[in-house]
Structure 1
Amino acid sequence: MRYPKSQKGNPHKLTIDQHIFPKACIARFIGENGTVQVRRKNGEQDLWLVPGSSYFCARRLWDQKAEAFFMKAIEDRYQEVARSIVTGAVNTLDAVMTAAVSDL
């Protein structure tokens, strides 16, 4: 698949490789070696990748402001709820938590 290119030097600081699933969520599954095991459906050999690997990214071109401000606020609220669940502090979501994890 061909992807549009940013202008030379990416002067508008567009986000190009965007994680499909938040890196913080992927990091929850790292092993002792700092990588996560990726089992591929096609039967090829498993991969062991760091959470920041481009394997977990899609190629996009969008404004960094949208990524850094609008999307970051949504992800931060989501991650706060996720951390509470992982640590065992929460086992039932209230209305605020439900809104945080289902924000579009």
Structure 2
Amino acid sequence: MGTTNPHQLTKKQHIIPRKSIARFCNDGGLVRVTRRDGATFPAKPKNAVFFASRMWEERSENGHKPIEDKFQEIADAVCNAELTSLDQRQSDQVTAMFALWAVRSRLVEANAAGSGLQAMPGVKGLLPHANISGWSSDDRDQLEKSNYVVCDPDGSIPGRMFAWPRMQREINLICNRGSAMKWGVLHAGEGEFVMPDRYQQTWMFPLSPTILLAAERGPETLSADAVARVNSISMSEHRQWFLEKR
């Protein structure tokens, strides 16, 4: 059994937390993914469709983990029926996770359009005295893991190194917009919710096939028709795919 390199970077970066995807899995650990072209396929939460490849630097990956952890505590409590309504502090934590999801999605979309951080040519000249010709890939990974700005072998700074200030600025803007907003718990009385890869306009966060958080709504149990309307919104706002319980 191999050992784990303590300086290894997270290169497969989930846009939506893996744990959030896992709540939609069936007993076999699979969800059903539907792409924009209509194709469907079963997938595990670690499937490549759910992550970006080194879209932001390690500081942004690990630095935002407290946002994910606080959100998952709330999501677990809601899904386990230990929490039926959210107070302002809990709502703010959900808003922070929703903001992180939105910002990650925007980075992925911008890169796909050729204007994202990963698509930027390496910026040269900011570290004129850096001599990294002898640095190995592990050396650079170790420094990035320690939150240093790290150059590529040619001396340029890759675009992902500029993710932290951009992500923080956009997360703060979204959180400020939702600063007085509360999230409510919606239950599917009939039918099941789907989860899209993003929302463009609507502030919703599916937690499981039968539970969804919505801004300024709930607590409420939805009819089959209401669940279908929610899913219609989710499917209309997705970019590449949406998932559901298989």
Among 9, 32, 50, the residue aligned to 2:44: 50
Structure 2: unaligned runs, 5 residues or longer: 1-6, 97-170, 172-246
Among 45, 56, 65, the residue aligned to 2:59: 65
Larger Rg: 2
- Residue 20 of structure 1: CA displacement? 1.3
Alignment length (residue pairs): 91
Please give the alpha-carbon distance, in whole angstroms, between the structure 2 residues aligned to 1:57 and 1:91.
31
What is the CA RMSD across the aligned residues, in angstroms?
1.8
Please give the alpha-carbon distance, in whole angstroms, between the structure 2 residues aligned to 1:102 and 1:61.
22
- Residue 41 of structure 1: CA displacement? 3.0
Structure 1: unaligned runs, 5 residues or longer: 1-11
TM-score (norm 2): 0.34
- Residue 62 of structure 1: CA displacement? 2.9
Partner of 2:86: 93
TM-score (norm 1): 0.76
Please give the alpha-carbon distance, in whole angstroms, between the structure 2 residues aligned to 1:52 and 1:21.
11
| Partner AA of 2:12 in structure 1 | D
| Partner AA of 1:58 in structure 2 | A
Q: Which has the higher contact order (CA 8 A, sep 6+)?
A: 1
* Secondary structure of residue in 1 paired with 2:25: coil
* Secondary structure of residue in 1 paired with 2:61: helix
1:12-27 equivalences in 2 (<5 Å): 13-27=8-22
Identity rate, percent: 35
Query: Does the CA contact (< 8 Å) of 1:37 and 1:47 recur in 2?
Result: yes
Find out whether 1:81 has 2:77 as its counterpart: no
Partner of 1:5: none
* Secondary structure of residue in 2 paired with 1:39: strand
